[in-house]
DNA sequence: CACAAAATGTAACTTAGGTAACACAAAACA
DNA sequence: TGTTTTGTGTTACCTAAGTTACATTTTGTG
């Protein structure tokens, strides 16, 4: 599939034809692979990413050491964080890392403001994105404030399985510990407990989710 | 001051004169007092509140019992949560409670979409609001994920002092415990420790912040 | 004033989760 | 093939924070 077709395909049904054409004309398609840092904390953002395929994880970092996964972004989404940065010319407050390989359409920031006045569907999309991101942040807050680590862990595994389209999660205990801002020993301990409850199966460097194979 | 003047006063410098006139014509001023529930979880929002005076606290609730203060809103601000609700016709995910007495301008939702296409300053305001709210949620996440309760408590006291424009906080330990999703005993213990460190002074039903009297 | 309600102090105990230390097995690699 | 490196399991211990229980004091209020 060429660039034109990919973009048509992704945004058909979301935007009016005219806007899709504008996007196709303005966008530059950029492939990425697992682990790529797409947005770094403290950097200004000059082009807005629209996710075509793949998944991206949004991380928050403590001022001295800690790190925390906020949420995943999937196909057709964009990062409202980025929207805010573009609109306000602010530095990024978050880091975006590719969870797996995929493709983003990069659109120059100045088109955004233009489309805001011009296309109702674009405004709706922007609001929808904001709303989704808001809810994901709220969800992150709920997890942190109201849930214990074992629940957060299980939840994390399910989310990771979902965005990777598999029930096998290829991550080490150490990696999971980073994303949940915990320690490897604690994660190993809780994983073992989950295994004993029959909810997961542990292998070296990967974890199988039992039941509900997404 | 009459309605016209209050609105002129609050938004001069933020919006163009024409938009301010539209706001003044469309808005209904509503006074509120401490403890009033301005927005309830699960309710639809038909009019958008713009805060003229006073402070509002935004709370998140756990599905079974817990509660947590997300952030305070002050003069000239609006609740991005509400913006999202209005734009998307969604139920509110948060509860808004008056921290003290004040005044909001209520604007019918349909004007919002209209102004989005019409006024650049309105678009900028909406983005700015979103951005602020985003950062407050991120801040809330930082506190939850990376700070201990004693730091969160001190931080909370300072925020509460700031929005109330005083260094004396008129809250009971129980109330504070609710807002931090903790228990009264823990809060009393930590407050006592902070008092021993000379950072605060405890009285019945109020707490004095030492130094940096806002 | 007497009594109830509200606010706080404090002790004793439990638990989730963090930390340090070390053993061991699978993988990578020279 | 032998030797690191990486990933995991496990023990022992520590601390922040939650829980229960009860005492004390202040503040209404009939």
A117 to chain B, minimum CA–CA distance in Å? 5
A110 and A163 together in one domain: no
User: Domain check: are A115 and A198 in the same one?
Assistant: no
Among B120, B135, B145, beta carbon nearest to A66:
B145
pLDDT digits (tens, 9 = 90+) for A66-117: 899 999 999 877 766 676 666 667 888 999 999 999 999 999 888 988 898 8
CA dist., res. A40 & res. B106, Å (int)? 39
In a domain, B182, yes or no: yes
Confidence of residue A31 (pLDDT cuts 50, 70, 90): very high
Residues A83 and A72 in one domain: yes
If chain B, 214 residues long, is cut into consecutive pieces of 10 residues, what is the mean pLDDT of each piece? 86 92 94 94 89 94 90 80 67 92 91 86 86 91 97 98 95 97 98 96 94 52
Residue A44 has pLDDT above 50, yes or no: yes
- Kindly report, residue by residue over B172-213, the tens digit of the pLDDT: 999 999 999 999 999 999 999 999 999 999 999 899 998 754
Residues A172 and A127 occupy one common structural domain = no
Domain with A116, as residue range(s), is: 3-145
Contact B117 A123 (CB under 8 A): yes
pTM of the model: 0.93
Judge whether B70 is closer than 8 Å to chain A, CB to CB: yes
Contact: B87, A146; criterion CB under 8 Å: no
Does B76 share its domain with B169? no
The predicted pLDDT at position A213 comes to: 42
Taking the Cβ of residue B91 and every Cβ of chain A, the question of whether any pair is shorter than 8 Å is answered with no
From chain A, the residues in CB contact with B120 under 8 A are 117
B 7-36 residues inside an 8 A Cβ radius of A = none
Residue A214 lies in a domain: no
CATH number at residue A200: 1.10.10.10
Asked whether residue A119 carries a pLDDT value surpassing 70, the answer given is: yes
- Residue A67 maps to a domain: yes
Q: Are residues A49 and A126 in the same domain?
A: yes
CA–CA separation, A119 and A117 (whole Å): 6
A31 with A125, same domain? yes
Are A134 and A177 members of one domain?
no
Q: Are A15 and A23 in contact (CB under 8 A)?
A: yes
**Does residue A158 lie within any of the structural domains?**
yes
How far is it, in rounded angstroms, from Cα A194 to Cα A171?
16
Q: CB–CB of A146 and B62 under 8 A?
A: yes
Q: Are residues A170 and A85 in the same domain?
A: no
Domain presence at residue B184: yes
φ, ψ of residue B28 to 5 degrees: the values are: -120, 125
Shortest distance between the Cα of B62 and any Cα of chain A, in A, equals 7
> Which of B87, B130, B146 lies closest to A66 in CB terms?
B146
Q: Domain total for chain A?
A: 2
Q: Is the dihedral of CA B106, B110, B114, B117 positive or negative?
A: positive
How far is the C-alpha of A88 from the C-alpha of A107, rounded, in Å? Answer: 16
Q: What gap in Å lies between CA B144 and CA A195, rounded to an integer? A: 28
User: Do B94 and B157 belong to one domain?
Assistant: no
Which one of B128, B145, B162 terminates a domain? Answer: B145
Q: Does residue B214 belong to any structural domain of this protein? A: no
B110: which residues sit within 8 A by CB, 6+ positions away? none
In this structure, is residue B63 part of a structural domain?
yes
For strand D, is any atom closer than 7 Å to the CB of A201? Answer: no
**Averaged pLDDT score across all residues of chain A:** 90
**Single residue among B93, B118, B145 that ends a domain in this structure:** B145
User: SS3 string of A69-133?
Assistant: EEEEECCCCECHHHHHHHHHCCECCCEEEECCCEEEEEEEHHHHHHHHHHCHHHHHHHHHHHHHH
At B128 the pLDDT is 84
**Mean pLDDT confidence for A134-142:** 94
CATH of the domain at B25: 2.60.120.10
Chain B residues with CB under 8 Å of A48 CB are none
> Of A118, A145, A172, which residue constitutes the final position of a domain?
A145
Half-sphere exposure of A177 (CA within 13 A, CB side): 13
Residues facing strand C, Cβ within 7 A: A 148-150, 181-183, 185-186, 190, 204; B 172-174, 184-185, 188-189, 191-192, 202, 204-206
Which pLDDT score is estimated for B212?
52
Chain B residues with CB-CB distance to A134 below 8 A: 80-81, 84, 93, 133-134, 137
Contact criterion met (CB below 8 Å) for B122 and B156: no
For residues A41 and A39, give the distance between their C-alpha atoms in angstroms, rounded to a whole number.
7
Do B15 and B37 lie in one domain? The reply is yes
Same domain, A38 and A113: yes
Inside any domain, residue B134 = yes
Distance from residue A204's CA to nucleotide C12's C1', rounded to whole Å: 44
């Amino acid at each position: 599939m060429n660039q034109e077709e990919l973009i048509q395909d992704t945004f058909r049904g979301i935007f009016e034809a005219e806007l899709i054409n504008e996007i196709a004309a303005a966008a530059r398609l950029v492939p990425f692979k697992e682990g790529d840092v797409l947005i770094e904390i403290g950097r200004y953002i000059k082009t807005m990413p629209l996710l075509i395929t793949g998944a991206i994880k949004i991380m928050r970092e403590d001022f001295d050491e800690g790190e925390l996964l906020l949420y995943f972004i999937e196909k057709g989404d964009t990062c409202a964080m980025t929207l805010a940065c573009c609109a306000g010319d602010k530095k990024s407050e978050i880091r975006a890392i590719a969870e797996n390989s995929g493709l983003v359409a990069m659109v120059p920031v100045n088109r955004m403001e233009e489309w805001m006045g011009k296309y109702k569907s674009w405004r709706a999309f922007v609001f929808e994105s904001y709303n989704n991101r808001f809810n994901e942040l709220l969800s992150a807050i709920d997890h942190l404030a109201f849930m214990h680590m074992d629940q957060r862990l299980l939840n994390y595994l399910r989310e990771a399985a979902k965005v990777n389209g598999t029930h096998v999660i290829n991550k080490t205990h150490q990696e999971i510990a980073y994303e949940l801002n915990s320690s490897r020993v604690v994660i190993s301990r809780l994983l073992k407990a989950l295994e004993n409850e029959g909810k997961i199966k542990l292998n070296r460097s990967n974890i199988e989710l039992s039941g509900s194979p997404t």
